[in-house]
């Protein structure tokens, strides 16, 4: 992975190159942003620059094969793996996945190692492994680099051990942490890292990457890039898996129909509870993806209602009519709807009972959807 392989983020690439040229590369960095904004590719490119100063040796996969490159990622126990696993137990799988899609998100990684229904983490055993690897002298004599992907998954014990490494790193050692949830990291870790904040990617940058990397035609690339919300992980998954979007659309249609009926027919409330139970039986990551899809659908309906046609790109795959639905989404209720769904995402992500959360969200929506414009 080199800087040329990264989608957009030119100002961050320039900053890191200048730091390296001036021999001022920080020993501890924290890259903050969604995985789809390019935090991991940037970390890999920076590691490549540090370990392979000769540009001719900075190939796409060279850093992943370098003996002085180390990686730590969230894992969990799985059939056939140790009861206290670390990255070492999954390293070949992660490296292969990173080669094929360095913009992968956590759900993709969890699915790959069969822990979709669990939460990945980095335990104190992971922190011990990191410390042991970094205590060794560099094979090349140049430096050692460790990338800690999704560092917010460090548990408290591991984070405190890592803090000591950040405060007093071994000689010629560079640590690069990535996170999309900066608020979950210890303040003491954040304060000792140089932080780089990654903005959303431009729609044009995503469109171009879809055409060049995934061989989508221009119209497909435009459609996917518009839905991706500046996140290449979303764009990649949409391009690879249209089936889930169709499933989400049908869930959404079932949901809003029940929500419409619930206010006038109390018996429908029980159907809403049953619907909530069905949705809650999916993985938490999938529930969150569905709720984010709903936010997108409501936003498109609002734009349609206010005739912002240039910004409406949602194309339903069923016979559901966006035109007929749009008048019910307006300035008086969109903020209530948005806030309620975002709160549901927050609670589900933090392991609150999802059936209870989705049922509560449904009942609230049954009031908001009937508000007059």
Domain extents for the chain? Answer: 3-197, 245-368
CA nearest to 121, candidates 181, 189, 75, 70: 75
- pLDDT band at 163, cuts 50/70/90? very high
Cβ-in-10-Å burial (0-12, 13-18, 19+) of 115 comes to: buried
Second-level CATH architecture of 3-197: 3-Layer(aba) Sandwich (3.40)
Mean pLDDT of the 52-57 span = 64
Condensed to tens digits (0 to 9), the pLDDT of residues 200-215 reads: 999 999 999 999 998 8
Mean pLDDT (whole number) for 243-258:
87
In whole angstroms, give the CA distance from residue 318 to residue 311.
21
For residue 347, what are its two tokens? 């609670």
Q: Is residue 171 pLDDT above 60, yes or no?
A: yes
Write down the pLDDT at residue 215: 86
The predicted structure's pLDDT at residue 353: 94
Place of tokens 């979709």: 116
**pLDDT tens, residue by residue, 301-324:** 999 999 887 777 666 767 788 888
Written in H, E and C, the secondary structure of 211-263 is HHHHCCCHHHHHHHHHHCCCCHHHHHHHHHCHHHHHHHHHHHHHHHHHHHHHC
Residue 240's pLDDT is: 78
Q: What is the CATH number of domain 245-368?
A: 1.20.272
Give residue 362's pLDDT: 93
Q: Contact, 204 vs 218, CB < 8 A? A: no
* Lowest model confidence (mean pLDDT) among 48-57, 85-94, 157-166: 48-57
* Long-range residue pairs from 271-277, CB within 8 A, at least 24 positions apart, any chain: 272/359, 272/362, 272/363, 272/366, 273/359, 275/362, 276/355, 276/358, 276/359, 276/362, 277/355
277 pLDDT tier (thresholds 50, 70, 90): very high
- The overall average pLDDT reported for the chain is 89
- pLDDT at position 9 over 70: yes
Confidence (pTM):
0.70
Q: Which two tokens stand for residue 76?
A: 């969990």
């Amino acid at each position: 992975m080199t800087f040329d392989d990264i989608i957009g983020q030119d100002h961050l690439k320039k900053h890191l190159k200048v730091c390296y040229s001036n021999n001022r590369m920080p020993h501890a960095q924290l890259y903050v942003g969604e995985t789809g904004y390019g935090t991991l590719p940037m970390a890999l490119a920076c590691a490549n620059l540090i370990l392979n100063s000769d540009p001719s040796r900075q190939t796409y996969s060279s850093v992943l094969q370098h003996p002085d490159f180390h990686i730590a990622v969230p894992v969990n126990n799985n059939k056939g793996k140790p009861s206290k696993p670390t990255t070492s137990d999954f390293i070949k799988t992660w490296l292969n996945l990173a080669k094929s899609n360095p913009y992968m998100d956590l759900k993709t990684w969890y699915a790959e190692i069969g822990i979709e229904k669990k939460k990945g983490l980095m335990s104190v055993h992971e922190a011990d492994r990191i410390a042991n690897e970094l205590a060794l002298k560099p094979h090349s004599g140049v430096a050692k680099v460790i990338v800690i992907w999704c560092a917010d998954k460090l548990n408290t014990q591991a984070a405190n051990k890592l803090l000591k490494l950040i405060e007093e790193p071994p000689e010629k050692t560079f640590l690069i942490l990535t996170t999309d949830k900066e608020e979950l990291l210890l303040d003491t870790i954040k304060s000792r890292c140089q932080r780089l904040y990654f903005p959303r990617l431009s729609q044009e940058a995503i469109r171009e990457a879809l055409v060049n990397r995934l061989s989508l035609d221009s119209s497909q690339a435009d459609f996917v890039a518009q839905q991706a919300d500046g996140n290449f992980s979303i764009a990649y998954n949409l391009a690879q898996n249209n089936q889930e979007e169709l499933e989400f659309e049908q869930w959404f249609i079932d949901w809003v129909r029940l929500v419409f009926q619930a206010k006038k027919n109390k018996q429908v409330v029980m159907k809403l509870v049953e619907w909530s139970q069905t949705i809650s039986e999916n993985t938490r990551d999938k529930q969150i993806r569905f709720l984010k899809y709903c936010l997108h659908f409501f936003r498109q309906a609002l734009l349609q209602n206010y005739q912002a046609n240039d910004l409406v790109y949602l194309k339903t795959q069923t016979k559901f009519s966006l035109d007929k639905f749009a008048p019910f989404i307006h300035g008086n209720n969109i903020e209530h709807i948005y806030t309620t769904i975002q709160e549901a995402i927050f609670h589900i992500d933090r392991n609150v009972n999802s059936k209870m959360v989705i049922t509560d969200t449904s009942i609230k929506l049954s009031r908001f959807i009937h508000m007059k414009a």
